[in-house]
Amino acid sequence: MVHYGHSNQLRQAKAMGDYLIVGVHTDAEIAKHKGPPVFTQEERYKMVRAIKWVDEIVEGAPYVTTLETLDKYSCDFCVHGDDITLTVDGKDTYEEVKHAGRYRECRRTQGVSTTDLVGRMLLMTKAHHSNMDSQHYQQHTDNFGKVCIMTLDGHSPWTGVSQFLQTSQKIIQFASGKEPQPTDTIIYVAGAFDLFHIGHVDFLEMVYKQAEKPYVIVGLHFDQEVNRYKGKNYPIMNIHERTLSVLACRYVSEVVIGAPYAVGKDLLDHFKVDLVCHGKTEVFPDNDGSDPYAEPRKRGIFKTIDSGNSLTTDDIVQRIIENRLQFEARNQKKEAKEMAVIEAMKKREQQEQQSEATAQAAH
- Do both 299 and 198 map to the same domain? yes
Residue 137: pLDDT above 60? no
Q: Answer yes or no: do 286 and 184 share one domain.
A: yes
Amino acid 121: pLDDT: 80
Do 85 and 178 share a domain, yes or no? no
**What total number of domains does the chain contain?**
2
Domain that holds residue 50: 4-106
Determine, yes or no, domain membership for 327: no
Mean pLDDT taken over the chain: 85
CATH, residue 239: 3.40.50.620
pLDDT, position 330 = 64
Shared-domain flag, residues 95 and 222: no
Say which residues have a Cβ less than 8 Å from residue 52's Cβ, sequence separation at least 6: 176, 248, 249, 250
Which residue from 18, 1, 26, 22 is spatially nearest to 10, judged by alpha carbons?
Answer: 22
Domain finish residue from 106, 129, 152: 106
**pLDDT tens for residues 39-72?**
999 999 999 999 999 999 999 999 999 999 999 9
Residue-wise pLDDT tens digits, 253-299: 999 999 999 999 999 999 999 999 999 999 999 999 999 999 999 99
State whether residue 254 is helix, strand or coil: strand
Nearest to 129 by CA among 223, 220, 261: 223
Share of residues in the chain with pLDDT > 70 (%): 85
Residue 131 lies in a domain: no
